[in-house]
Amino acid sequence: MPRLRHLGLPVSLLTLAASPLTFAESNQLEAVTVSATRSNSEVGKTPQKITVISKQEIEQQLRMTSDQSRVLSNLIPSYTPSRQKLTNSGETFRGRAPLFLIDGIPQSNPLRDGSRDGYTIDLSMVERIEVIHGASAEHGLGATGGIINFVTRRPESGTVNQHIGVQATAPTNDIKSDSLSYKVDYRVDGMAGNLDYLLGVSYVDRGMFYDAEGDYIGVDGTQGDIMDSQNGDVFIKLGYWLTDEQNIELSVNRFELEGNHDYVSVDGDWANCIPTTSEKGSPEGDAPMNEVTTAGLTYTHSNLGGNHFTAQLYSQTFKGRYGGGTFSTFQDPAYGPDLYDQSQNESDKIGGKLTLTRDGLLDNHLKLTTGLDVLQDETTQILAQTGREWVPETQFRNLAPFLQAEVNPMDQLILQAGVRYEYAELKVDDFNTLASYGSHQVEGGNPDFDETLFNYGLVFQATDNTQLFANYSEGFGMPDVGRVLRSINIPNQNVEDFLDLQPILTDNTEIGIRLNGERTHFQISHFSSDSDLGQRLENNGGVFEVKRERTEIQGIEADAGWQINAAHAVNATYAHTSGKYDDDEDGKVDTRLDGNNIAPDSFQLRWIAQWTSKLDSQLQGTHYFNKDFEGDTNDFSAYQLVDLSLGYDLPKGELTAGVENLFNENYFTYYAQAATTRDDRNFKGRGRTFTLGYNLDF
């Protein structure tokens, strides 16, 4: 089978990501396939909702913001509004945690969820983002809310291709030296004989953020912050074609982000709507940071005895340091009553994935995909200033074979079904809890779990333009093992018998309809996700602890688009999510989940225009609706954000401009309103900013 030389991919694996808003010439593109499905399913032919965020959409967002979680919340319905901090804590997808991947390599840390999963790669290195809405048994561990797979850039045709981009961002109400942010990125790629190569580097220097009134936004002294920080990314990809049908590829990404540590937080007053702010100062301890190295070695054979075969070996090392404090949790008589300390998560993962797909069986009516996933994760959480263990070193091993079938009994009907067997084992040595938990001796152990997960669904092409789809899928995830272990307050507890370490199993359903015309599209679906032993974060004296309870979540997602003409297109999305948990342990859900677990309802409208052959624009607006929770506190008051981006082709290069929060909305973030009552986290959202950039490809 000949290679598609300009992409470095076999023709059978051609994967083109297309925006839901495409102009007339884009109709020439082939079907969009999604690598995150393991069987390379085509978008629009799957029983569950899949979104592919194209390179064009990513670049349009990066004209306005370099905040990765803001990009995700702008482009993914049912994803919680960005906290605008160095954390994904409280940011959920369909009410549960998403599994973040880079080229299929897991970034999430199931043993001690430090909520930094979304900050492991610069989006300048990303070609597209594949989003599977809802649990997927094809990936198993951690994908109870869905999958967000960052697919990295590939070499383009030509011997040497280069790109350089520069960008500067400033608030519009009062430009100060400490408010400026800068970014520069560079890539070189190409092909030389059978070798494909790509090298990318980026550097971001972020200044302080200001709210709509021109005041400093508070520094998050616990979770860490992206403002007043620097981050760099180095990405390398090398591919070699052994034959026209065989390729081996090595990719390595090194991402670092660290705060400058030049400002301290000034508490607000949550009850009286006084925001947390910042002032110049020298915080104690070391600056919060992320250091992540992701590496993968992938072998692909597109025609191994008529099968498509992929083998991947990968590793990920993660180190995340958090801000500190004199928290009661850290106090120990041996160190006195006013001890300052800060935590640091360290995780090392190695794993492998084997996938074998056979298409064209039974006279082109059957496609089978089978595979095996293996993972070993070793994680610990230390207190960096005193060297104590907050969470003991824990080892997790996971083995999961799976089989997925796709049947086309007739032209109008696609049936899918699959089974996945999950075997997981924890290894925890004997340890002592911190003094604040009672200095209890906990007996270690090797608890193991095994589950068989099923999924099945159908897609029915009712008419040329109308498609019905339905899906059932069982999800598998681990609770935040570290939080569970560190908070044990029962003497002589045995890890082997501790119920709170049991896996999270979810039953997920989705049913919907897709309508596709020549110039319009519409999709709406209803989803639900139930778990007999779910996971909920509860604020306990300022420290969030895990509660294991029955949870039920449901929601609606809708998406509509209209290609007005060759130059203008509009798209609208709506998302609603609600959930309850069993508060009194009677087996029935009775209390609404709060803002730590559930996103607000949202409506977004986006207008993309190609004014001339050189000038394009995008205007997007998002309205987050009021949301009431249990009791009289933590209710959410609505706000709306409008963003604008522009691009203009120069004789050499492209000039870009972006305005975030165009109308300078003055608001408290969703997290500050609905997920906490702490005076030191009563953060406002960022005010209007202006970004100017220049890109040159040569």
Tell which wins on pLDDT, 114 or 153: 153
> What pLDDT is stored for residue 17 in this prediction?
34
Tell which wins on pLDDT, 586 or 453: 453
Nearest Cα neighbor of 510 from 141, 149, 136, 138 is: 136
Residue-by-residue DSSP string for 61-83: HHTT---HHHHHHHHSTTBPPP-
Tokens of 446: 């090797």
> What pLDDT is stored for residue 34 in this prediction?
76
Arithmetic mean of pLDDT, 199-205: 97
Res. 415: pLDDT tops 90: yes
Arithmetic mean of pLDDT, 39-46: 77
Res. 23: pLDDT tops 50: no
Instruction: Give CA–CA dist 546/485, Å, rounded.
Output: 10
Task: Say which amino acid occupies 428.
Answer: V
Res. 506: pLDDT tops 90: no
> What pLDDT is stored for residue 143 in this prediction?
72
Res. 240: pLDDT tops 60: yes
Order of all β-strands in the sheet with 146-152: 50-53, 126-133, 146-152, 98-102, 105-106
> What pLDDT is stored for residue 545 in this prediction?
58
Mean pLDDT of all residues belonging to the chain: 88
> What pLDDT is stored for residue 168 in this prediction?
96
> What pLDDT is stored for residue 21 in this prediction?
47
Instruction: Give CA–CA dist 497/254, Å, rounded.
Output: 39
> What pLDDT is stored for residue 655 in this prediction?
97
Residue 27: CB partners within 8 Å, gap ≥ 6? none
Res. 11: pLDDT tops 60: no
> What pLDDT is stored for residue 37 in this prediction?
76
> What pLDDT is stored for residue 410 in this prediction?
92
Tokens of 81: 């509004």
Res. 380: pLDDT tops 90: yes
> What pLDDT is stored for residue 6 in this prediction?
34
Arithmetic mean of pLDDT, 496-501: 67
Res. 90: pLDDT tops 90: no
Residue 598: CB partners within 8 Å, gap ≥ 6? 92, 95, 553, 577, 578, 579, 592, 627
Res. 451: pLDDT tops 60: yes
Query: pTM for this structure?
Result: 0.90
Nearest Cα neighbor of 418 from 365, 469, 450, 455 is: 455
Res. 89: pLDDT tops 80: yes
> What pLDDT is stored for residue 502 in this prediction?
73
Tokens of 639: 């706000």
> What pLDDT is stored for residue 329 in this prediction?
87
pLDDT tens digits, residue range 281-340?
Answer: 999 999 999 999 999 999 999 999 999 999 999 999 999 999 998 888 899 998 988 999
